[in-house]
Structure 1
């Protein structure tokens, strides 16, 4: 794809490319819209690195919405990206200062509260799961990581942990999974 053909892509084409995992179109999103976010962050007590972090998180929000089919754009893509970045930066600044924060805006904004609420809830669930895994202890933690993350077979797990057969390993995996579930939901329900 040539430079001139990329610059004529519509918002819908950019979103379709993002959903398909196109690195070229992801680079185009950076080329087009990162300068706008950089300007926002630099004009509101941020750094280059802050802008990169905020824009990365903004694109994650966009990617999640596009791939789940839940993105409903009622504005230009540029306005949506600016609004999400603005909201994330406001949240970052308010966490830093604990007092009310006002931004110097240079772009129109859209209401993205609902989109970010889902993103923040998922982040919180991932944090709770990581904490639950930490509290799970050994050998359950390693067994579950070996099976679900490292994709080891039950036979490999049987040999690694010294179980007498794969059925015993499956039983132990099930018990560990139930224990993890109890740990996770004991905290999750409190929230």
Structure 2
């Protein structure tokens, strides 16, 4: 049983037909995220442009010559292709063995679509978490931020100028509020 194409298949059709308007839309939606990922992972703005462009060409070739059909949203799929391409590039630059040849880099199977869907869900969850976190009071944000740094709670309590017991109780209350907001989608 095969899945039917995702409505975002229109992006692949636009690439194949060189539809400038929709290709512009792809750049607006995705280029900034790719740039952020690559800059965060030891790359430059030029690297980001190159990887994004190469990935679009790869996706275009898959769509035109191998009849690629999306069964997931386009954006996380493209971001996953870019991420794989950049990680491979980092390995090449560090003269480590490259794990994937360029041919297999864009091997598209159900696992690729599943990973792209998972990536999209993770992004949504992260956004929900960050929105909920921002709604917390300053003291809760401070306690959670310090606690997430991996320091011993005794040290966190000392740094924040509170007792260990107060910190544990307050952290528990803050986390409960945060979890409740996330579960209720704010």
TM range (shorter): 0.3 to 0.5
Higher relative contact order (CA 8 A, sep 6+): 2
Query: Normalization by structure 1: what TM-score?
Result: 0.46
Query: Normalization by structure 2: what TM-score?
Result: 0.47
